[in-house]
Structure 1
Amino acid sequence: MKVGLLESRAARLNAYWATLLKELEVEFVHSALPDDQALALGRETLPTEALGVQLMVGRVLALGRVDAVLIPRLPSVTGDAWGEAFAELLPRRISSLPPLIEVPDGGDDLETVATEVGLRLSQNAGRVRRALEKVRRLASGPRQEMPLLARASHATVAVIGPRTLLAEDILAGGLRPALERLGLHGVFSHELPLAEVIRRAERMENAGKVPAGERELFGAASLLAGKSGVRGLIFAVPARDGAAGAALERLARRMHKPTLQLMVDAGQTGFPELEAFRGQIAAAAQGAPQDTAESGERA
């Protein structure tokens, strides 16, 4: 059996699933196309869909002939049909795909699903048990530290958006340089320690009834908005992603600092809205106490 492993820079457990397949002695492959070509393929195939969906579709198609594809299940927001059921929807839009198997990117059901996947792919219970012992240490994902919250001569802004956008340079890589050119230091939500974000998200009203992706966005925004050095919040919306846009708009209304909702497309380098936002946060800061934290302070 040959398995395609869909790697996403937004996923935390790529190493977990790659190691599991290796320990199961299952042959597996990654996408053979560079990100720009995978995105172009996804755009050609599903031209009206959201930016992140197009990238994932291109990566799936670039896997070539495989017997199954493992796809990371990433947190979704309200109304995000693709995020909730990507593996079910894609075969309805594209015929002749191999079986798509969604796998968790953490959570309480990780080992249960890994066991089921292992048995499905190897049909060897003993090998699955040994493989699970080897990968258990990878289940918590890579260690994360709080990013720098201040830089000399820069105003700090929080950049809040879906991991599927901000973690992918091919999609949002132009945003950080654009901020730098205006003397803005961006602290990006996908770089925050996830455990701290989730703890902060518990403060959300009716948190248990809100989709995981929306809780994650709230936790990141709440965590950063509470930092005195953060002058404003930029809510980054993937192009053609109405569900993410609506979720971020709801979140922006909760904030008490200046906010900007910014549409982001692949390859975009110019963001004219940022200059006006820089002026807005500068004006707001004139009446606020000066932050005494030194450049390079961590939370």
Structure 2
Amino acid sequence: MRVGLLESRAARLPGYWAAYLKELGAQPVKPALDDARALALGRQSLPGEPVTVQLALGRILALPKVDLALLPQWAWVSGDSWSEALPELLSRRISGLPTLLSVPDQPDTLESAAAEIGMRVAQNAGQVRRALEKVQPLASDPRAAPPALSRASRVTAAVIGPRALLGEPQLLWPLRTALDAAELHAVYSHELSVPEVLRRAERLPEGERSAPGDLELFGATSLLGGKGAVRGFVFVAPARDGAAQAAAARLAAAQHKPTLLLTLDDPEGASFPELTAFRERLTLGAHARPTDPEAP
């Protein structure tokens, strides 16, 4: 069986599904286009949707003929139907797609989902069991070295956003370049240890616990907000993604350090002139207060 494999660059458990499919005797198939061309293809097909959705669709459209395609399950925020049900929504919007299955990206639900998919691919319980045993070492979060919190002659800003956005180099590079040009040292939330982030999210009161993506964003913000080197926050969400933008706005409103809200869209046309003024606020230690246009 030919299985399309769309492991995101933002995958929490990289390599698991590719190794598993090979153990099952299936042929993993990757998109035939690079991410820049896949994104352009997705933008043509769904011009009004978030850039993360466009990239995922472009990768699917760039697959050679496959019997099945596996998509990573994004950690969705409250109200984010795309991330919660991506295969179903894409199949409704675009005709002629292969069968799409969402696969988990966290250890606690991985084995049961893998067993189900294994039976669908191999139809042999013994082979599935042996394949699961072989790939078990890949079913836990890799150790992540903590990112450097400071850099000589630069002020540090934490960049907080969904892993499905920040973890994709094709989507992040314009912001990464702009932060460097503004002489800011950026510490990105997707580079943190996910288990550590989720442990920090346990500080949320039980009644305030929400969707997986909300917990990741809160945990990363809490973790980095307690670091003295971090002088402020840049909260990032995809353009046309109201749920992610609302989650970013909620977190920004709760911070005591300066914040900046940004959206990412077409990488080719992206610019972030507001970063220069934001750097000045961080350098001067000013709090995020709107300027009164009528002030003398």
TM-score by length of 2: 0.93
Alignment CA distance shift 1:58-1:43 (3 Å): same
Aligned residue number for residue 249 of structure 2: 249
Aligned to 1:229: 229
8 Å CA contact 1:207–1:215 kept in 2: the answer is no
1:145-184, Cα deviation, whole Å (9 max, x unpaired): 1100011101011000111111111111121221222221
Instruction: Please state how far the C-alpha of 1:71 moved relative to its aligned partner.
Output: 0.8
How many angstroms apart in 2 are the aligned matches of 1:172 and 1:108?
Answer: 29
- Report the alpha carbon displacement of residue 208 of structure 1 after superposing the two structures with TM: 7.0
How many residues of Structure 1 are paired with residues of Structure 2 in the alignment?
Answer: 286
The equivalent of 1:276 in structure 2 is: 277
Q: CA deviation at 1:269?
A: 5.0
Q: What is the percentage of aligned positions where both structures have the same residue?
A: 57
Deviations 1:26-65 (Å, cap 9, x if unpaired)?
1120111010110001000111000100000000111121
**CA separation of 1:11/1:123 partners in 2, compared to 1, >3 Å: closer, same or farther?**
same
Q: Specify every segment of 5 or more residues in structure 1 that has no aligned partner in the other structure, as ranges.
A: 287-299
* Aligned-partner Cα distance in 1 for 2:29–2:208: 37
SS at match of 2:101: strand
SS at match of 2:285: helix
How big is each residue's C-alpha offset from its partner over 1:79-110, in whole Å with a ceiling of 9 and x where there is no partner? 11110100111111011222111110113221
Gaps of 5+ in 2: 288-296
Instruction: Give the equivalent residue in structure 1 for 2:89.
Output: 89
* RMSD after superposition: 1.5
Give the structure 2 partner of residue 297 of structure 1: none
1:247 is matched by which residue type in structure 2? A
Shift of 1:6: 0.8
Distance in structure 2 (CA, Å) of the matches to 1:218 and 1:160: 9
> 1:291 is matched with which residue?
none
1:7 aligned onto 2:7: yes
Q: Distance in 1 between matches of 2:162 and 2:246?
A: 12
Question: Once the 2 structures are TM-superposed, how far is the Cα of residue 116 of structure 1 from its aligned partner?
Answer: 0.6
Q: Does 1:206 align with 2:217?
A: no
Post-superposition CA distance 1:130-149 (Å, at most 9, x none): 10011000011332111000
Matched letter for residue 270 of structure 1: S
Task: Tell me the amino acid that sits aligned with residue 152 of structure 2.
Answer: A
Distance 2:177 2:281 in 1: 20
- Write the distance in 2 (CA, Å) between the matches of 1:132 and 1:154: 47
Structure-2 separation of matches of 1:253 and 1:107: 32
Contact 1:42-1:56 at 8 Å conserved across structures = yes
Counterparts of 2:208 and 2:225 in 1: how far apart (Å)? 22
Paired letter, 1:241: D
Contact 2:15 2:138 in 1 (8 A): yes
Separation of aligned partners in 2, 1:142 and 1:227: 23
Q: Give the 3-state SS of the residue equivalent to 2:108 in structure 1.
A: coil
What is the letter of the counterpart of residue 162 of structure 2? Answer: P
In the aligned structure 2, how far is the partner of 1:285 from the partner of 1:97?
51
Partner Cα distance (1:48, 1:267) in 2: 17
